Amino acid sequence: MSEKVLNVGLLGFGTVGSSFAEVLAASGRMDIRITHVYNRGIERKKTHERAKFVPTGAVWTENVDDVLASPDIHLVVELMGGLDPIEGWLRTALNAGKHVVTANKQLIAYRGSDLFALAASKGVQLLYGAAVAGGVPVIPGMSQGLSGDKITRISGIVNGTCNFILSSMETGADYGEVLKKAQAAGYAEANPSADVDGFDARAKLCVLSRIALRAEINPDDVPAQTISHVSAIDFAYAKELGCTVRQVSRAQLDGEKVSARVGPMLVPTTSPIAWSHGTQNMVVTSGKFGGDVVFSGHGAGGHPTAVAVTSDVLAIAEGSAGVRLPAHKVQVSGDVLAPHYLRFIVKDSPGIVAAIAGALAKVGINIDSILQHRGHTGDRLPFVVTTEPCLSSTLEKAIADMTKMEFMVEPPQVMQILVVDDRDTD
Amino acid sequence: MSEKVLNVGLLGFGTVGSSFAEVLAASGRMDIRITHVYNRGIERKKTHERAKFVPTGAVWTENVDDVLASPDIHLVVELMGGLDPIEGWLRTALNAGKHVVTANKQLIAYRGSDLFALAASKGVQLLYGAAVAGGVPVIPGMSQGLSGDKITRISGIVNGTCNFILSSMETGADYGEVLKKAQAAGYAEANPSADVDGFDARAKLCVLSRIALRAEINPDDVPAQTISHVSAIDFAYAKELGCTVRQVSRAQLDGEKVSARVGPMLVPTTSPIAWSHGTQNMVVTSGKFGGDVVFSGHGAGGHPTAVAVTSDVLAIAEGSAGVRLPAHKVQVSGDVLAPHYLRFIVKDSPGIVAAIAGALAKVGINIDSILQHRGHTGDRLPFVVTTEPCLSSTLEKAIADMTKMEFMVEPPQVMQILVVDDRDTD
């Protein structure tokens, strides 16, 4: 490949696409050239401040077939996102013997296994290092550097928006306020559901699980809990428990089954997962032989994501095939054995603790601690119960009972408590 | 390669070699087979508890030519270390068209560029993911996942022994005591010089600099400062400054020059570099486009190192060539512009502060703070001066003057203070 030029067709010239043009240009590689740029409203795109990083003479087009059908293009870089129509476009590209580099987490999470098989059958590469954690090389790092281990668990902070919101709330801000601030700063969408309700994170978790656990998981099967019910008071209690609150994405292999979950969890401040602030991403893998490995950095933004895309393009230009790690479909359960945090808002009256303790005892769950801060009014009295390790499915039965109790002002906020247990290796 | 078997000749069946046999066996790959094991005292090695992970029928030999000259071996895994005779052996293997996987940091640091060129000329792979930070995939992560960035700085904790010693001293232990404990636990050698004086770390820094900064540096040109003069009192003052003390390896690209240094430094507790405890390793890369990326985990030990070795072997079996990043020889300077920490032990007498301040003023260095804790006797009075950013070469002139001052009981302990400045990307 070093003798000839690798011609690149770029789909999407938004923040990431235009940053890719800049980062690729900065690499100084004369043997890799963007020859086509597809986008809607292409005349406006040609005036983008980063359009200058696209080589003179490149074709700017609103007709995707100019890219997909061009016999001159060796590699298609897709930076648009979403399943439809992208899946069809990239199938066309792969079928035509073009390599594909994409940052599309949904596509890889939902259609990855089919697309990898198609790429392999055509003898081309499909790389997607930017699909999770942007500029943090967790995908190439795991594929190339941890393939020798038996990874049994993957935990991470893979949604920068939620991490921005929750790490801001740590210092006292209110959920609604911080969300508005995140929206104003461009970290959160007008409709923040994909982020705060965990749908973005669970697609990423499935992409990582395929590499780390060799497990094909359907994102729709992974329980996702919203962070929108986390309140300032949860941070106060979490602190008392030596923890903070983060949106954690977590998948664990137990024999042939995977338990997976995305949602707000209590994270001990001694855990690497608590280190992430702002929009940072962080992934921790736990391997049988290598123990815990941490990857951390800027998970989003045009430039960091463009670094991952450019690195994939360089790998293809160098003839470095990705390591193919065979994965197979596995059954997913959202059921986790863990200590849990239950926060109640109650109307003060006698017998509350007895009623809650009774509901837990009925399903055989032991209480670890009961915490109650002073200074709240009797109409909306918050208090917290932590449990010894229990199955989340068992706990849900007790929660269903409790939710009906007369003194309960709002449904209890239930969060898993992460336990730090890096195993002693060697 | 998937149709045929990749035959592996293993040089060295010590802790890492035998762990590699175990981890490779656990991968369940029937198409990768250890066919030869070379070691001295091979009869004893055959009774090793992990010898059972070597396939029956493998040749155990004390004659290295049985491995190097065997036409059946496709890949040589070298886990012995040192330059001589290993360099000659691996040249023989590469010349014979065999791939090589090695954990040998000295070899890659001192002879890497020649050996890479030889491997390329023979069309074979030379991978060395285990040479730095054992089970932490910083080498494959950077080569595959950050090749698109312009990395301008690399900082890290790459010597687990020093990190064990310094992170133990953080909680009050004395250097000598902790060193003994580390020796008893097998973390430190009877002669700890390679670790505590920074020679091990600077070889690793040079391996990383080639990938991250594309800079060929001779390890002998990198100034290395011993940690053996760090005392409990330095941790007390560091804490007052919001810092701790770590052995940091650091290389920074400024235009065509690299400044590099290994030694004890003051690290703000808010920096990821301060997160490492015990024998953990940690590498932080700073890129123009991707900002700071952190890799962390178990840097040593048989099993984590074997994960890196096995991952390299799997990559070769999958036909995944490494990304070749051209590097070139650069001039190295140990001179750094940074704030510095100076700790003095003096015999109390009038005019000490004036004399020290005078020596600094003479070379144009500004004092940032003067710290003195109570409770010490006048014969060995410790106190600390921190400077505003200054060139270490300039500071050394002032230190030379100060060392001659009559009241100075021992030479001043000088340490660079790291400044956290993750740049705002996108």
d(CA B299, CA B182): 15
Residues above pLDDT 70, as percent of chain A? 98
Contacts of A203 (CB under 8 A, 6+ apart): A105, A106, A109, A110, A219
In chain B, which among 62-101 make CB contacts under 8 A with chain A? none
Instruction: Specify whether the CB–CB gap between B316 and B98 falls below 8 A.
Output: no
Give the pLDDT mean for B276-287. Answer: 91
Give the pLDDT mean for B396-424. Answer: 87
Give me the pLDDT at residue A248, please: 97
The lowest-confidence range among A101-115, A227-241, A335-349, A364-378 is: A364-378
E strand intervals along B288-402? 291-298, 328-329, 331-333, 337-338, 340-346, 367-371, 381-387, 390-391
d(CA A179, CA A158): 17
Q: Which of B148, B297, B298 sits opposite A310 (nearest CB)?
A: B148
Catalytic residue among A45, A98, A105, A204: A204
pTM for this model (two decimals): 0.94
Contacts of B426 in chain A (CB under 8 A): 15, 19, 298, 301-304
- Which residue blocks in A199-321 are alpha helix, DSSP H? 199-212, 232-240, 302-317
Kindly state whether B297 is in contact with chain A, defined as any CB-CB distance less than 8 angstroms: yes
In chain A, which among 124-143 make CB contacts under 8 A with chain B? 129, 135-143
pLDDT tens digits, one per residue of A65-88: 999 999 999 999 999 999 999 999
Q: Which of B8, B79, B126, B146 to mutate to test the interface with A (most CBs of A within 10 A)?
A: B146
What's the whole-number average pLDDT of chain A?
93
d(CA A21, CA A8): 10
Give the pLDDT mean for A166-176. Answer: 90
Give the pLDDT mean for A184-196. Answer: 89
- Nearest 5 degrees, angle CA B372-CA B374-CA B377? 100
pLDDT tens digits, one per residue of B293-311: 999 998 888 999 999 999 9
**Amino acid identity of A238?**
A
Task: Report the gap between the CA of B413 and the closest CA in chain A (Å).
Answer: 31
User: Residue A424 above 50 pLDDT?
Assistant: no
Catalytic residue among B4, B204, B347, B404: B204
In chain A, which among 304-333 make CB contacts under 8 A with chain B? 304, 306-315, 318-324
Instruction: Specify whether the CB–CB gap between B415 and B266 falls below 8 A.
Output: yes
User: Residue A40 above 50 pLDDT?
Assistant: yes
Using CA coordinates, name the residue in chain A closest to B2. A324
Give me the pLDDT at residue B2, please: 43
Give the pLDDT mean for B11-21. Answer: 97
User: Residue B375 above 80 pLDDT?
Assistant: no
Give me the pLDDT at residue B421, please: 61
**Cβ–Cβ gap B144/A140 under 8 Å:** yes
Using CA coordinates, name the residue in chain B closest to A308. B145
Residue with tokens 């020093």: B162
E strand intervals along B125-179? 126-127, 151-157
d(CA B231, CA A260): 47
Asked if the A138-298+329-333 domain carries CATH number 3.10.20.30, the reply is no
Assign domain B6-127 to a CATH class: alpha beta
Contacts of A324 in chain B (CB under 8 A): 318
- Nearest 5 degrees, angle CA B379-CA B384-CA B385? 135
User: Residue A313 above 80 pLDDT?
Assistant: yes
The lowest-confidence range among A48-62, A96-110, B316-330, B412-426 is: B412-426
Kindly state whether A27 is in contact with chain B, defined as any CB-CB distance less than 8 angstroms: yes
User: Residue B264 above 50 pLDDT?
Assistant: yes
Q: Which of A275, A297, A323 sits opposite B318 (nearest CB)?
A: A323
pLDDT tens digits, one per residue of A102-123: 999 999 999 999 999 999 999 9
Instruction: Specify whether the CB–CB gap between A316 and A6 falls below 8 A.
Output: yes
Q: In CATH terms, are A6-127 and A337-417 the same topology?
A: no
Pick the CATH number of B141-297 from 3.30.360.10, 3.30.200.20, 3.30.930.10, 1.10.1240.10: 3.30.360.10
Give the pLDDT mean for A27-54. Answer: 95
d(CA A287, CA B257): 39
d(CA B78, CA B89): 9
User: Residue A301 above 90 pLDDT?
Assistant: no
Residue with tokens 């040192």: B82
Using CA coordinates, name the residue in chain B closest to A424. B298
Q: Which has the closest alpha carbon to B156: B338, B254, B297? A: B297
E strand or H helix that includes residue B77: strand B75-78
Give me the pLDDT at residue A409, please: 94
A378: its two tokens:
């009797």
pLDDT tens digits, one per residue of B72-125: 999 999 999 999 999 999 999 999 999 999 999 999 999 999 999 999 999 999
Q: Which has the closest alpha carbon to A277: B145, B275, B417? A: B275
User: Residue A184 above 50 pLDDT?
Assistant: yes
d(CA B283, CA A192): 34
pLDDT tens digits, one per residue of A223-252: 999 999 999 999 999 999 999 999 999 999
Q: Which of A142, A285, A293 to mutate to test the interface with B (most CBs of B within 10 A)?
A: A293
d(CA A206, CA A198): 12
Give me the pLDDT at residue B3, please: 57
A146: its two tokens:
């941890």
Give the pLDDT mean for B12-39. Answer: 96
What's the whole-number average pLDDT of chain B?
93
**Cβ–Cβ gap A148/B272 under 8 Å:** no
Exposed / middle / buried, residue A229 (Cβ in 10 Å: 0-12, 13-18, 19+): middle
Q: Which has the closest alpha carbon to B123: B87, B89, B96, B92? A: B96
Contacts of B129 in chain A (CB under 8 A): 144-145
Q: Which has the closest alpha carbon to A251: A290, A293, A203, A193? A: A203
Using CA coordinates, name the residue in chain A closest to B304. A290
Instruction: Specify whether the CB–CB gap between A208 and A156 falls below 8 A.
Output: yes
Whether omega before B389 lies within 30 degrees of 0, making that bond cis, reads no
d(CA A73, CA A113): 24
Superfamily of domain A337-417 in the CATH hierarchy: ACT domain (3.30.70.260)
Q: Is A204 a catalytic residue?
A: yes
B421: its two tokens:
């400045």
Q: Binning pLDDT at 50, 70 and 90, where does residue B173 land?
A: confident
In chain A, where the domains are located: 6-127, 138-298+329-333, 337-417
pLDDT tens digits, one per residue of A273-298: 888 888 899 999 999 999 999 999 98
Contacts of B140 in chain A (CB under 8 A): 140-141, 144-145
In chain B, which among 150-189 make CB contacts under 8 A with chain A? 150
Identify the residue with better confidence: A211 or B349: A211
A399: its two tokens:
């929660």
